Amino acid sequence: MRYVPGLPGRRSIRLPGYDYTQPGAYFITICTHKRERLFGEVVDGTMWTTPYGDVVRDEWLCSGINRPGVLFHTFVVMPDHFHGIIIIDVDRAGSGDRRGTAQCRGTARRAPTASVATRDVDNARRSPAFGQPIAGSIPTIVGAFKSAATKRVNVLRGTPGARVWQRNYYESILPDVQTVRRVEAYIRGNPAQAASTAPTQTRRRASS
């Protein structure tokens, strides 16, 4: 993953001792296994998804439905990777405030908004169980998203048990609203920055 000027550094290894269950915003990048261009193609600055890319988009939109206090925010599906922002906001847990609509597996559902509440990373609580699965943590949330998308993609292509994603993922902690806005702009502009290529499968326009 190349360095992007102006964006916070992304790491493929979690920050030792950092509590990834605490309120804040997190920039996530997940690449496909062997960087296979599985999810679609970029044509003239627009991302057109394959049915596999549709699954990834759908799972992102669905993931926040039953996770009170977790907002699955701005995202983009790219041919061989995925960018998204996850916001943990415990003040919203149980509020039912999920304005906006999205198609979740063909059914209209409520989707998260852009409301952002971040906290300075210097005030991070430390997790005594770093490296172990922790319910509600970013690694657990990302793992569940990857797993759900993998199962559905493999059903579509008839490849049970095949890998869809790289084992790890990239993340960075977004310390303030200004950084979140900058990363949002980067995510939305990702297709326009990608080289135009000819589509190889039936094209569908991605949405975020």
Q: For residues 3 and 5, what is the distance between their CA atoms, to the nearest angstrom?
A: 6
Q: Is 131 exposed, middle or buried (CB count within 10 Å of its CB: 0-12, 13-18, 19+)?
A: exposed
Q: Encode pLDDT of 147-156 as tens digits.
A: 999 999 999 9
Nearest Cα to Cα of residue 62 among 157, 144, 165:
144
Q: Which two tokens stand for residue 122?
A: 């210097």
Q: Encode pLDDT of 19-51 as tens digits.
A: 788 889 999 999 999 999 999 999 989 999 999
Confidence at residue 138, expressed as pLDDT on a 0 to 100 scale: 92
- Is 76 in contact with 191 (CB distance < 8 Å)? yes
Q: Which two tokens stand for residue 149?
A: 């998308």
- Give the sheet arrangement for strand 24-31, strand by strand: 70-77, 81-88, 24-31, 170-174
Confidence at residue 192, expressed as pLDDT on a 0 to 100 scale: 92
Q: Average pLDDT in the 181-188 region? A: 96
Q: Average pLDDT in the 170-193 region? A: 94
Answer with the residue of higher pLDDT: 121 or 90: 90
Answer with the residue of higher pLDDT: 33 or 120: 33
Q: For residues 166 and 188, what is the distance between their CA atoms, to the nearest angstrom?
A: 23
Query: For the stretch 93-104, what's the b/e string if a residue is b when 16 or more beta carbons lie within 10 angstroms of its beta carbon?
Result: eeeeebeeebeb
The 8-class DSSP code of residue 22 comes to S
Q: What pTM, to 2 d.p., does this model score?
A: 0.73
CA triplet 29, 183, 190: central angle to 5 degrees?
65
Please say if the pLDDT value at position 199 is more than 80: no
Q: Is 91 exposed, middle or buried (CB count within 10 Å of its CB: 0-12, 13-18, 19+)?
A: exposed
Please say if the pLDDT value at position 75 is more than 70: yes
